[in-house]
A and B are shown apart, each in its own frame.
Chain A
């Protein structure tokens, strides 16, 4: 299982050298590494053993599992499933009950400190954690044991990153992310609802190549995936700048692919590489499909920005009611108001006499 290298297992499954190199190049691009790093990635994936991985599901919907299983591109799907030696995953494993738990126990004890724990789903803390139990143990107990003995934990999806949907107000089961539930572990948050499997694959490739996790931001998210704002990378951005907005579902603007800001798009508050890597092997992403971004990767998105359909207030540059001509008029009006205000102050100070009406 964990003994062969990724490249060996790929060739065994008929993936060509060319596709392997294409994958390594794509991973370097995803990680924002220079192309000179590609040979290092190639070398690492050729030589290093596949890491043991256990995939834990807690208060989740299995959407992050689906996201990775639905990776449509043949070589990527091969790689995603083959890059890791997946020893435990409730939704896809054959064994049930005690056989499943035995597989988990073996990795945790025999590969202690060497395996990667992937966590999907939040950890409920209320009432001693009874709102999610597996084999009679709470999610919290399992996370403490399994993440506590792992080389690193990958929190995939928003629920395991910061609580996600499971923690939406009033957070009935007091759900939190794994980093908060088990303090002191080494972890990476990959929020998103669901997470994007290409980012998770890139993190694992980085780990295999450099022996470390990629650079993270203050919320433990890799900068390569969460460093840029959706609004700044959105294909509909020119329409925002031009004041061309969808104002009603199905209107002319909607048909023409105009900006969805008026319809509640949260792109100006969301940091994620969704517009660049997209979904289903780069086919599309929510805004391209015609719906505003729901900021699924942003902490507390279900409550922080109002309804999914309410317009975000105070977005700089939101000239949503104007055309370029009107912006010009607006600037003139502001200037005029400033002059008037200034005049009023001078009048009040008695330095200018008010002109008489004629």
Chain B
């Protein structure tokens, strides 16, 4: 049976892809992936702890 992919998933912030295995009219297995990565945790290493809020608050602007 077919595997379907929905990419992009809209009406969310960020980039999301969902793949689903469909048997008959039922989803039997599914996989989701975030398809964007910026590495903000890596940027925070070695910074002044007082400014980290300004980075982490930009994970998501919604």
Contacts and interface: CB of A to CB of B under 8 A. Distances in A.
Interface of A: 57-67, 90-97, 100-101, 124, 131-136, 165-166, 168-170, 172-173, 175, 193-194, 294, 302, 307-310
A96 B50 contact: no
Contacts of A308: 48, 50-51, 54
Given A62-B60, A175-B38, A134 B43 contact: no
B61 A66 contact: yes
B11 A92 contact: yes
A61 B15 contact: no
B25 interface: no
Given A93-B11, A97-B7, A168-B43, A61 B58 contact: yes
Contact of A90 (B6, B8, B60, B61): B8
Given A93-B10, A168-B55, A170-B43, 13 more contacts: A59-B36, A61-B61, A97-B9, A131-B36, A133-B36, A134-B7, A135-B7, A165-B55, A170-B42, A172-B42, A175-B38, A302-B43, A309-B51
Nearest to A69: B62
Contact of A172 (B5, B12, B13, B43): B43
Contacts of B15: 57, 90, 132-134
Interface in B1-54: 5-15, 35-40, 42-43, 47-48, 50-51, 54
Contacts of A91: 10-13, 62
A31 B59 CA distance: 32
A186 B56 CA distance: 32
A131 B38 contact: yes
A193 B54 CA distance: 10
Given A61-B58, A62-B60, A307-B47, A94 B8 contact: no
Contacts of A58: 36
B43 A169 contact: yes
A123 B13 CA distance: 16
Contacts of A309: 48, 50-51
B60 A310 contact: no
A91 to B, nearest CB: 6
A152 B7 CA distance: 26
Nearest to B12: A91
- SS class, residues of chain A in contact with chain B: loop
A168 B58 CA distance: 12
Nearest to A135: B7
A309 B50 CA distance: 7
Contacts of A172: 38-39, 42-43
Q: Which has the most chain A C-beta neighbours within 10 Å: B42, B43, B48, B62? A: B43
A63 B61 contact: yes
B21 to A, nearest CB: 16
A294 B53 CA distance: 12
A65 B43 contact: no
A190 to B, nearest CB: 15
B7 A136 contact: yes
Given A294-B54, A309-B48, A61 B13 contact: yes
Contact of A307 (B11, B48, B58): B48
A316 to B, nearest CB: 25
A310 B48 contact: yes
Nearest to A132: B36
B35 A96 contact: no
Contacts of A95: 10
Contacts of B42: 170, 172
Contacts of A100: 8, 10
Nearest to A194: B61
A242 to B, nearest CB: 27
